[in-house]
Structure formats: C-alpha cells, structure tokens
Structure 1
Amino acid sequence: MHTTLVDLLLEYEVSSPAHFLFHIETAFYEGHHVQEERLTITPSMKVRTFSDDRSGNRFIRLDAPKGVLSVNYHARVALKPPPVPLHLDETPVTAVPDDVLRYLMPSRYCESDVMSRAALQLFGHLPPGIGRVRAIESWIHDSIGYLPGFSNSTTTAQEVFVQRAGVCRDFAHLGITLCRALNIPARLVVGYVHFDEPPQDFHAVFEAWLEGRWVIFDPTRMAPVDRLVRVGTGRDAKDVAFATIFGGVQMLRKELTITEEDVRPAVSTGVHSPALTVVTV
C-alpha cells in the first residue's frame, strides 16, 4: 500500500465573469482511501460539487467574478490496488457488458476505425489476451518519442502514430486506439503520480477490458501505475479535462506537488472518502 499527498494550486486572471468546471478531485474508485481532503477557493463564492455514478469522476462548478481566481486542492490518499493476474483473456465482443461497449467505439482523439489496418499488421498475429496489450504498450514506448510541446490539445492518435512523438496523453490515446481497433475495449485514465524528475504534472495512462476487469497500462513508463491517484476516467481526453472554462480567462499559475509518504496500516480496498471540506475566502 502507498500513501500519496497531493497539493494543487490553480490561478487564473478572469477578464469577465466566467463559468468553470473543474475535474481535479480524487475519483471514487476501488483501492482509493481518501484520508483527508480540502478545497480552498479565493475569492469567496458559491461552489457546487457533483459526481458521475458510472465512472466515479467528481466535478466542481462555480461562477467566478472578474479578477484573480485561486483554487487549491489538497488530499492524502492511501492506495491499495487489486493485484493483476499474469494471464487474462480478451473478452469477445458478444460478451462485452452494455456499460463497457462504448469503450469499443471510435472517439474524437482515438480514431480506431481508421487505424484497424495498422493495428492488425502490428499485433493481429499475436495471441489474444493481456500479452497482446502488453505488446501494444511496449511498441508505443519503443516507437514514440516523449517530446513535451510537440503535440497540442487537438492532436489525435492517428497523428501521433504518423509523427512518432507526443506526451503522456498522446501515448495513452494511441494505446486506446490500437486496442479498440483489435476489438479490445479501452479508455483513458488521468490522475496524480509522483515523478522522480520534476516538474510534477497530471499524468495520463490507459486501461483495457480483459476477462471482465479493467487493467491499467502506461506506455510512457514514467512511474509505477499502481501509485496513480485516479482523478478521471473517460473515452479520451475530451471527457477528463482538469478544467473546462466558459468565458475570458487566462491561466496565471499551475503548481502541483505530489509526495509519497511512509506506508500506513492496511485499509479496506473498497471506495471510501470523508466529506470534502470546501473553504471559500
């Protein structure tokens, strides 16, 4: 079990009244035990929070007046993810559950319908199962260069495949796309994880549906996936942006500190969270 301390500060210059949708809180998810959690917003304003029952994603909505908006999220989370078996089979499409079926479909950043030929050429000859997804993960790690600033917010998996460069979300999008092209449901996961080399930032990985369960993969291999504090799960980055803004706004600062603490006594692997403390000043 690992315990992680998260401190996130976001600061914006609001030029005219704007509406914000933040997606920065730890998700309600198996293996996550939120030991403490606090949200501080300046200046004082009305804040509404809600969650998606299907994904466990949590959201914050607020209307910010003109001026400087400061949002600070603090959490201490104990992680005890379930072990992953060495051998897992792929699930036939006919047996994919209704609520998982959407993760087989092409999406904005994951054009699996136009990548099927490439996926079959690269991985179609491999035995179905977790080993084939591991092969996809390894191929992306070995074939795609990690180059911050090379891609942008509109870069798709097909473009990453052609350009052979990107950042963590591009690596994850390509993994999702190749899996879906092989009829393996896959989805994006974003969260907080400690990197040995700064700066700290949000991190993106992907999950594949294998033998009735979600299994996480990280083609960047930048950090252990069992230490990821999950924030959001979705079809692609469109579903899990950490901030969606309606209005005239400029980001002034984003500071993220992630610290791993000593192991605490064992806790339940079930979902647990204390009440979120929201402070507006």
Structure 2
Amino acid sequence: MRIRCGYEITYECPAPTPMLLMLNVRPERISDLETPDIILSDPPIDLTQYRDRFGNLCSRILAPQGRFALRSDFIVRDTGLPDPTFPEASQTPVDQLPDEVIVFLLGSRYCETQELSDIAWRLFADVPPGWARAQAIVAYAHERITFGYAHARPTKTATQAHEEQLGVCRDYAHLAITLCRCMNIPARYCTGYMGDIGIPVDGVMDFSAWMEVYLGGAWRTMDARHNKPRIGRVMMGIGRDATDVAMITNFGPATLIGFKVVADELL
C-alpha cells in the first residue's frame, strides 16, 4: 500500500517567534518513505534538527513576523494490514521490566495515576493480567468517552476526561494509558497520521493519537478512540503523554489561521 501524507499549517506571528516542531515521521519509518519527508516553509527559513529522549525527530525554527506557513507532502509505503493483536501476550512483572520501560509506568502531566488508581483496581483487578486486561481498559475508555471536536481542550487531563465523559482522540489515549499504568502495564502515547483507510469517512482529517502497551516483551498498538484494528498508521512521535509529542510548540504569541492534514491511500 502507498499512502500520501502531508499537511499545511499557517500561523500569524506578531514578531519573530521561536518554534519547536515534531512534524517528521519516526526514524523507524524512514526506510518506508517513497518520497522525502521534508518540512517546507513559506517564506523559506533555516531549520535545525535533533532527536529527543524518546528518539523523536524534532526541528527548531525562528518563525518570521507576519504570515508563515509550514507544509509537507510525501508518500510512504505500508503493509496495508490492520494492527496485529496478541491475545496471548503476557504482562511482565514490574521488577522484571527493562529500565527504559519503567518511565511509562509513572504518572505524567496528563496521566494522573494517583487520581485514577482506585478506580482502575476496582474495575480491572479481576480481569486476567496481560492482553485481556489491557483490552478491557481500552474498551472501557472507548465506552466512557463520547467523541466530539467541540470537546477538545489542550489542558484536559485523563481524570477530567473520565469525569466529563467527552473528548477527542488524545483524551481516549490519555485515559487508557493512565488506567493501564495504574494496573502496572507500561503504556506510552503515540501520535501520527491515520487516514480513513478501510472504513467509512470519519469526519475531518487531523493528526491522530493512540497508545502502545508493553506486553509480551514488546510494544503493542492499541487504540481506545476506535477500539478496533486500523490500517495505515504512520508514527510521528512517542512519549509519556501529549506534552512530549506536541506537533508545534511556540515560544511567544502565534495565531493559528490555517490547518490541513492529508493521509490518503493512493490507488
């Protein structure tokens, strides 16, 4: 399968504004690129890149005063297969987890494990550990939250999403991640492209959020927003929660005036 991905994001800046971008695909997907994943800007500016603590490819820019646009358009190859499932994947005891995985058991900015721990143990203590428990958590988050773009709020935490029962894909992910961590299942936040491939068109295209859980000695994809395997995920970033994988962070005033994302299968 070939997938065309890209975006056009436009800002109005009252003054030159430093920005941090996470708009490239993860290094693991670079070998799948059929055309280069390059960040272009209008007007053209200098850009420097580095990899953060989670291996994400980040870019630093100084956005100019006035109207400023970022865009990309590339083709990536994909297996075309839905997310694999691992019903037999076991849960690794905490004392046997790799050191680098432990951080994904801890509470974070949007995933307050202390606030939801009692609820998690009450709901899922009797579910067999491993894949069954993680899937039960995903199904609970899927049913608990009603999706709607009008419910998006950049400061909303997992606890707030649980109480309000309204949100967008990041809220489903934060809630499921938090409940998994409460039950000693390492879970990390993922973001990237995921188009409406293999399903009916599902609203306006945007970047998507999902999660990975550490089961059976490896990271496994799960998605509380959709609660079923999907086709054509193109990972851009992983982290503890949305704080670590913000697509654009501006260090000063900047008004978003245009936003378009594309993730379409090429026939």
Kindly tell me: are residues 176 and 222 of structure 1, through their superposed partners in 2, closer, same or farther at Cα, counting changes over 3 Å?
Answer: closer
Give secondary structure in 2 for the equivalent of 1:153.
coil
Question: Which amino acid is the alignment partner of residue 40 of structure 1?
Answer: L
8 Å Cα contact 2:86-2:131 kept in structure 1: no
8 Å Cα contact 1:25-1:73 kept in structure 2: no
Query: Which residue does 1:71 correspond to in 2?
Result: 70
Matches within 5 A, 1:210-229: 210-221=215-226, 224-229=229-234
Give secondary structure in 2 for the equivalent of 1:172.
helix
Matches within 5 A, 1:1-281: 2-29=1-28, 33-37=32-36, 38-52=38-52, 55-80=54-79, 83-195=84-196, 196-221=201-226, 224-262=229-267
Higher RCO structure (Cα 8 Å, ≥6 apart): 1
Structure 1: gaps of 5 or more residues? 263-281
* Larger CA deviation: 57-66 vs 228-237: 57-66
Kindly tell me: are residues 31 and 221 of structure 1, through their superposed partners in 2, closer, same or farther at Cα, counting changes over 3 Å?
Answer: farther
Kindly tell me: are residues 24 and 247 of structure 1, through their superposed partners in 2, closer, same or farther at Cα, counting changes over 3 Å?
Answer: same
Give secondary structure in 1 for the equivalent of 2:134.
helix
TM-score for the superposition, normalised by structure 1: 0.87
Query: How big is the alpha-carbon RMSD for the aligned residues of Structure 1 and Structure 2?
Result: 1.9
Structure 2: gaps of 5 or more residues? none
The sequence identity of aligned pairs, in percent, is: 32
State the alpha-carbon separation in 1 of the partners of residues 249 and 138 from structure 2: 29
State the alpha-carbon separation in 2 of the partners of residues 137 and 200 from structure 1: 23
8 Å Cα contact 1:107-1:235 kept in structure 2: yes
State the alpha-carbon separation in 1 of the partners of residues 232 and 21 from structure 2: 23
Give secondary structure in 2 for the equivalent of 1:139.
helix
Shift of 1:223: 7.6
State the alpha-carbon separation in 2 of the partners of residues 120 and 132 from structure 1: 11
Shift of 1:83: 4.4
Shift of 1:252: 1.2
Kindly tell me: are residues 15 and 31 of structure 1, through their superposed partners in 2, closer, same or farther at Cα, counting changes over 3 Å?
Answer: closer
* Larger CA deviation: 147-156 vs 105-114: 147-156
State the alpha-carbon separation in 2 of the partners of residues 187 and 84 from structure 1: 17
User: What per-residue deviation string (whole Å, max 9, x for no partner) do you get for residues 14-63 of structure 1?
Assistant: 101100111111111269611212322111221112223x5331111111
Give secondary structure in 2 for the equivalent of 1:10.
strand
* Larger CA deviation: 33-42 vs 82-91: 82-91
Kindly tell me: are residues 189 and 7 of structure 1, through their superposed partners in 2, closer, same or farther at Cα, counting changes over 3 Å?
Answer: same
TM-score for the superposition, normalised by structure 2: 0.92
8 Å Cα contact 1:217-1:225 kept in structure 2: no
8 Å Cα contact 2:29-2:234 kept in structure 1: no
Give aligned pairs, total: 260
State the alpha-carbon separation in 2 of the partners of residues 206 and 77 from structure 1: 21
Shift of 1:138: 1.1
